[in-house]
Amino acid sequence: MKPALIVHAGAWKIPEATHADHIAGIRAAAEAGWAILASGGSALDAVETAVSIMEDDPTFDAGVGSVLNRVGEIELDAMIMDGSTLQLGAVAAVRGITNPVKLARLIVEDTDHSLLVGDGARRFAELKGMRLCAQAELTVPREVERYRKLQEVPDYRLSDGFTPDTPGPWDTVGAAAMDMHGNLAAATSTGGVHYKLPGRVGDSPLVGSGAYADNQTGAASATGHGESIMRVVLSKTATDAIGHGKSAQAAAEYAVRTMYERVGGYGGIILVDYRGEIAFAFNTPHMAVAWVDVDGQVQAHLKTRQSAP
Ligand code: ASP
């Protein structure tokens, strides 16, 4: 089968000054993922590689460049899922590693568990010989500055009056792919939301919310307001809609519309269906998406919402 790949790096009002960096980052990720798929590699390897490249890119809220929580710490969430076996690996609120998606992959390969959190996840990383890092290695000046400003706001609560214009970043990264054997995979990685409470876990490592993959329907990765995404189990809602006969594009739009109508949520989703059709939908002002077109060329775009949510 012809492989398919789509990646994203968040959906929000992405500041114009960072559009070029977003586009360059998603392009690099899509190119690396595609190189794996084009040479016969697995969808799982492709999404892991694409996401880890975006984790290394300080532009995004994942790995290096992640947001700081309320006590000035970086806690990372990630998930990877294999659509051929429905196996998944996820980590939540883990500190001191650069590539949580790689740790999530090790959970798939080397454990009979699905989700490890906090210190346990970090201990597992150490056990597997992953390099542990100091928080300074993940921290960028942009996020220190944001943190300092937020500290000056009394009783800051992100969920109060959440709108598509709510200040970001909402730069979670993700990928969905189909390989030559028709196997699907999805991965998502994030630093979560800025100024979150310590221990807050978003949608990204929750199966069916931040990602889902099933060879019989589709592979999806989500971004946006995590508390809304998890309430409608956004990724599974989208892949189930494919199972009920919707096209990939109709399913992506249906899932985002459902989130808005049921819980007033904002965000976006990427999808690859079991036929290799790719799609994305979002109800925020922008979404950063890259995919590989029918000629094998990477298309990387900062998309602007055309209509009201
Ligand atoms: N969904 C992520 C979270 O709530 C944030 C994002 O998409 O940027 O943790």
Give tens-digit pLDDT for 176-207: 999 999 999 999 999 999 999 999 999 999 99
Q: Is 75 in the pocket of ligand 1 (CB under 6 A)?
A: no
Q: Is the four-CA dihedral 217, 221, 223, 227 of positive or negative sign? A: positive
Q: Distance (Å, rounded) from C-alpha 43 to C-alpha 228? A: 28
Per-residue pLDDT at 167: 80
The answer to whether residue 182 is domain-embedded is: yes
Q: Which atom of ligand 1 is nearest to the CA of 170?
A: 8
Quick check: 7 and 26 in contact, CB under 8 A?
yes
Q: Distance (Å, rounded) from C-alpha 106 to C-alpha 110? A: 6
The answer to whether residue 87 is domain-embedded is: no
Share the mean pLDDT of the chain.
Answer: 96
- CA 298 / ligand 1 centre spacing (Å): 25
Quick check: 89 and 114 in contact, CB under 8 A?
yes
Quick check: 198 and 73 in contact, CB under 8 A?
yes
- CA 123 / ligand 1 centre spacing (Å): 25
Active site residue 172: yes
Tokens matching residue 62:
């994942």
The candidate with the shortest Cα–Cα distance to 93, out of 230, 198, 233, 174, is 198
Q: Which atom of ligand 1 is nearest to the CA of 227?
A: 4
Question: Containing domain of residue 146, as a range?
Answer: 4-66+138-193+201-304
Tokens matching residue 67:
């947001």
Q: Distance (Å, rounded) from C-alpha 192 to C-alpha 199? A: 11
Helix (H) or strand (E) holding 178: strand 173-178
Percentage of the chain beyond pLDDT 90 is 93
The answer to whether residue 248 is domain-embedded is: yes
Q: Which of 74, 94, 189, 193 to mutate to test the pocket of ligand 1 (most atoms within 8 A of CB)?
A: 193
The answer to whether residue 128 is domain-embedded is: no
The answer to whether residue 158 is domain-embedded is: yes
- pTM for the model stands at 0.97
The answer to whether residue 127 is domain-embedded is: no
Mean pLDDT of 51-70: 98
Tokens matching residue 161:
């009056």
Q: Is 205 in the pocket of ligand 1 (CB under 6 A)?
A: no
The answer to whether residue 95 is domain-embedded is: no
Output the domain CATH number for residue 39: 3.60.20.30
Q: Total domain count for the chain?
A: 1
Quick check: 268 and 282 in contact, CB under 8 A?
yes
SS3 186: strand
pLDDT classification of 309: cutoffs 50, 70, 90: low
Q: Is 65 in the pocket of ligand 1 (CB under 6 A)?
A: no
Percentage of the chain beyond pLDDT 70 is 98
Is the confidence at residue 164, as pLDDT, over 80?
Answer: no
Catalytic residue chosen out of the listed positions 18, 49, 98, 172: 172
Strand order from edge to edge, sheet including 218-224? 211-213, 218-224, 267-273, 278-282
Distance from chain centroid for Cα 298: 19
Nearest CA to ligand 1 atom 8: 170
Residues 6 or more apart in contact with residue 172 via CB below 8 angstroms: 9, 10, 60, 61, 62, 188, 189, 190, 202, 204, 210, 223, 224
The answer to whether residue 20 is domain-embedded is: yes
Q: Distance (Å, rounded) from C-alpha 205 to C-alpha 276? A: 24
Q: Which atom of ligand 1 is nearest to the CA of 61?
A: 8
